[in-house]
Structure 1
């Protein structure tokens, strides 16, 4: 694969959705492996990424912001959001900055997520309470956000 082919492939990917730099690097690396007789030229990929950066097609800050909004709408808590963004290859400092600046009351969000799934009534037995706690933990809420709801 040459510069132009790889650049066009990257533009094709970016035309469909936003990618972070690390995620796009991985996709381009996989494409090069498939199309280039299993030979990967990481310098070529870096050159193409630099060109995309110069043209403002890559912006990790914007992508993290958009993903953060999406994950909040889906009802994810801060722990889950952090995990999802780390898996996409974003740096910890960028993730932390966006989590600090997001305008969400996480306690209210946890209540909203629990209510949407289980209704307004608080559980009366231990088994049901445990089920709801596990659900909220899997959604990425901290323990204090979860247990605050069940205080009575």
Structure 2
């Protein structure tokens, strides 16, 4: 497979022309998203510079591609489906919108493709050239779930839903202080007081269990005093 078939920099202008983007609407939406992100940062939103950059990049792409890469409509295939360069262009358009696990990307492309074997070959090539990466998707999933206050059990479910092997991020999950995560979530929901009421304690336990935390982290979290 020659490098020419997979240019390192995608020609998004060409793709936008191919898929019929309304640039005025896209620019207007992108400007609104960026202004909103700037406003959140100025008012003390608790995001790191890296997270802010990632979100801006992601939102820019989403705004830019809402019209340009609505491939399900623009590339609605004939009964024979997509093949060759049309399938390849669709694959790039899909990946420009968001990250997909290998299994999910195969199913996404196979919906519109003529030949599933061609899809399998194409996805392997995309993966080999790092346009698709299960590792990248898994790491993004972990970060997203942690930001949402989810514990390790919920993260494992999220990985399974994306057909991702949890071993890809085993070290990442092991490095997180789940006790501290559970405690911060408990404080945000119930405050710093350590309740002796069995009903309140049971409620807190159920809440943290639903969020996906292990019982040892939960018990430490609901028992921790502010001076400890």
TM-score normalized by the length of structure 1: 0.83
For residues 42-61 of structure 1, the aligned pairs below 5 Å read: 42-61=116-135
- The structure whose Rg is larger is 2
Query: For 1:31 and 1:115, how far apart are their aligned partners in 2?
Result: 48
> For residue 51 of structure 2, what is the aligned residue in structure 1?
none
Point out which structure has higher relative CO (alpha carbons under 8 A, 6+ apart). 1
> For residue 116 of structure 1, what is the aligned residue in structure 2?
188
For residues 3-152 of structure 1, the aligned pairs below 5 Å read: 3-32=84-113, 41-100=115-174, 103-151=175-223
Query: For 1:68 and 1:96, how far apart are their aligned partners in 2?
Result: 10
Note if contact 1:64-1:98 (Cα within 8 Å) is conserved in structure 2. Answer: no
TM-score normalized by the length of structure 2: 0.57
Give, in angstroms, the shift of residue 60 of structure 1.
1.2
Query: For 1:98 and 1:31, how far apart are their aligned partners in 2?
Result: 35
Query: For 1:149 and 1:96, how far apart are their aligned partners in 2?
Result: 23
Note if contact 1:114-1:132 (Cα within 8 Å) is conserved in structure 2. Answer: yes
Give, in angstroms, the shift of residue 97 of structure 1.
4.0
**Where does structure 2 lack aligned partners over 5 or more consecutive residues?**
1-81
Moved over 4 A (4+): none
SS of 1:31 mapped into structure 2: coil
> For residue 53 of structure 2, what is the aligned residue in structure 1?
none
With 63-72 and 105-114 compared, the bigger mean Cα shift is at 63-72
With 23-32 and 104-113 compared, the bigger mean Cα shift is at 23-32
Note if contact 1:137-1:143 (Cα within 8 Å) is conserved in structure 2. Answer: yes
Which digits, 9 at most, give the CA deviation of each residue in 1:104-149, with x for residues without a partner?
A: 2110000011111222223342222222111101111000010123
Which digits, 9 at most, give the CA deviation of each residue in 1:24-50, with x for residues without a partner?
A: 112222334xxx5xxxx3211111102
Q: How many residues align?
A: 143
